[in-house]
Chain A
Amino acid sequence: MRTNPKALTGLVALGFFALMAVVGPWLAPFDPSERSSALLQPPSAEHWFGTTHLGQDIFSQVLAGTRSVVLVGAIAGVVATVLSVLVGVTAGYLSGSAGEGLSALSNVFLVIPALPLIVIITSSLPETSNLTIALVIGLTSWAWNARVLRAQTLSLRRRDYVEAARANGESAWRIILFEIMPNLTAVIASGFVGTVLFAVVSEITLAFIGVSDAGGWNWGTVLYWAQSQQALAQGAWWWFVPAGLAIALLGTALSLVNFGIDEYVNPRLRNRFSMPGVRMRVGFTPVLPQDPKLAQKLETS
């Protein structure tokens, strides 16, 4: 992992967002909801990202909103990952109708469109807070990982070392926890990162259509106000560009971490051996001349 620049870049960026989630609300130069007389101002030294139609400071809104985004992403990610491990590994390890039933359950949740489902549940709830939104997203988005984990467990279940453990009389729990789970770590980690990305985009989307934590800020709420106040028609590009870029950067950071995990699990995806001038043909081992003179001769020929 240390030698993988993609994963390292992603982790550094994630660390930055996590830091902002903690200190962002204190760093914000203004109260994000406070109105002022500077209405719809473009970016300036005082208001880095400009102001809204009520004179609110957009830089403060984006900073203060990071906390809600990171919090919902993390909680939903943990809830969905725990559920997917429970359902996926059990479905893979159990044979017969119990395993089939759990597998059908995760397929059902996979096929039902998640976003409309999250929208009808959250808008029917008596109250919406960051916690309830995170829980709804977590409880509805575990199916993909469960499916991946089930497939992986199915292939591990009949391996020799698992058979050996079974022959030794180890209990099913011990086999699952100590023989199978350690080999699923990378899959679980990559599933967690993917779910966090999905949860973040879902929360922002929900806020954009008007379902969000009452009184709180997140990047989607900023975009919601930009859209409902016709920021585009008024040429106020600064109103929606920073929040959108923040989403894209966080999303890219998460994807980079996931690429790192993918390449760690599947060495075929690694690019480390590619060199300029050498066209890698997969399936063939490129033989490189060691002698620099010979190499030069080959290149000029």
Chain B
Amino acid sequence: MSYLLKRFGFYLLTAWAAVTINFFVPRMIPGDPVQALITKQRGQMTSESVRSLYVLFGLDKDESLASQYFSYLGQLLRGDLGLSFTFFPTPVAEVIGDGLPWTVGLVGITTVIGFLLGTAAGAVVGWRRGTWADSLIPVTTFVSSIPYFWLGLVAIALLTGPGSFFPASGAYAIGLVPNWDWQFIGSTVQHALLPAFTILVSSVSGWILSMRNMMVTVSSDDYVTVAHAKGLPERRVMLAYAARNALLPNVSGFALALGFIVGGTLLVEIVFSYPGLGLQLFQAVGAKDYPLLQGIFLIITLSVLLANLLADVAYLALDPRTRREG
């Protein structure tokens, strides 16, 4: 239990660091973005929302840095992330709320599937080294060097078009209203297939490589030789002895690599115009929508921290040594 508590403390520290970065970064923005927005909206903003944006950007010159920081923290705790510039006057929290389910659905599911598939393939390739399986390695190296978004562009060029089964953009057919009937779910799955496939192809190769290298290292350890000497079936030695131990660094690697992967997959959303956080990030950069940018960064960081906590629980289940007290 103390292991999990320690991890939890670390994630709290990281969340605080992300919030603090979010507090200081907007201070570099040149000029007064809020004033520019007020001019653009010609007085349609309530004084309350102007005030909230000033706190967000740290433009309150009368207050000290410390009191600015605490009013910012207080605002965050109330769930107030400011107003989006692009979707004015919708609050940032609401805009993100619209995009988050799509991202969690697409990126979350494909990342986990990619990890499982890649690890399984890597275990086999690592176990059968010196055979044809080794020729997979140069291919996976090449594929893992391709940026996710470019693979998406190629997929769109090759597989979509008039008359194709795969739609090139969006998350569901135009004209459908999101609800839980079969027509809508079917359309959602149809739209998600190609982006999901793109993420899978580029993320799987990384897992294959790391799992393969761990398998190669582990399989020359003494306990594997002993298992062989005992005459255990090959399958059993591979899965229950070598793979079981090679898996541990891969699981902790999964937690650490999550931040990188999520960044890459957000771009797949941009390419496919998939209405998740990635597309919103793209729109926010184009429109210089700072509150939305900050909000998205914060939400992505918190989601990654949560996923890390889940990976820790999985590690705890896999490795009995971490459960030992003391």
Residues in chain A within 8 A of chain B (CB atoms): 104, 107-108, 110-117, 119-121, 123-126, 144, 197-198, 201, 204-205, 208-211, 223, 226-227, 232, 237, 240-241, 243-244, 247-252, 254-256, 259, 262, 266, 268-269, 271, 274, 278-284
Contact = CB atoms under 8 A, between A and B. Distances in A.
A256 B144 CA distance: 12
A282 to B, nearest CB: 4
Q: In terms of DSSP, what is the predominant structure of the interface of chain B?
A: helix
B28 A113 contact: no
A115 B266 contact: yes
The winner among B141, B147, B301, B308 for most chain A CB atoms within 10 A is: B147
Contact of B150 (A210, A223, A262, A266): A223
A269 B18 contact: no
B145 A247 contact: yes
A249 B141 CA distance: 10
Contacts of B217: 266, 268-269
Nearest to B151: A244
A116 B150 contact: no
Given A113-B263, A282-B129, 11 more contacts: A108-B13, A108-B17, A112-B301, A113-B259, A114-B263, A119-B281, A124-B25, A201-B147, A244-B147, A283-B219, A283-B221
Contacts of A256: 141
A116 B96 CA distance: 15
A159 to B, nearest CB: 21
Interface in B26-43: 26, 28-30
A282 B220 contact: yes
Contact of A114 (B129, B157, B260): B260
Chain B, interface size: which category?
35 or more
Given A112-B301, A119-B285, A197 B145 contact: yes
Contacts of A271: 129-130, 134
A279 B129 CA distance: 8
Given A123-B288, A227-B271, A237-B157, A244 B259 contact: no
A278 B141 contact: no
B283 to A, nearest CB: 10
A281 B126 CA distance: 11
A124 B290 contact: yes
B285 A117 contact: no
19 contacts: A110-B256, A110-B259, A112-B259, A112-B304, A113-B262, A115-B264, A119-B285, A121-B25, A124-B26, A209-B267, A210-B282, A211-B285, A227-B271, A240-B154, A241-B154, A251-B145, A252-B145, A256-B141, A283-B228
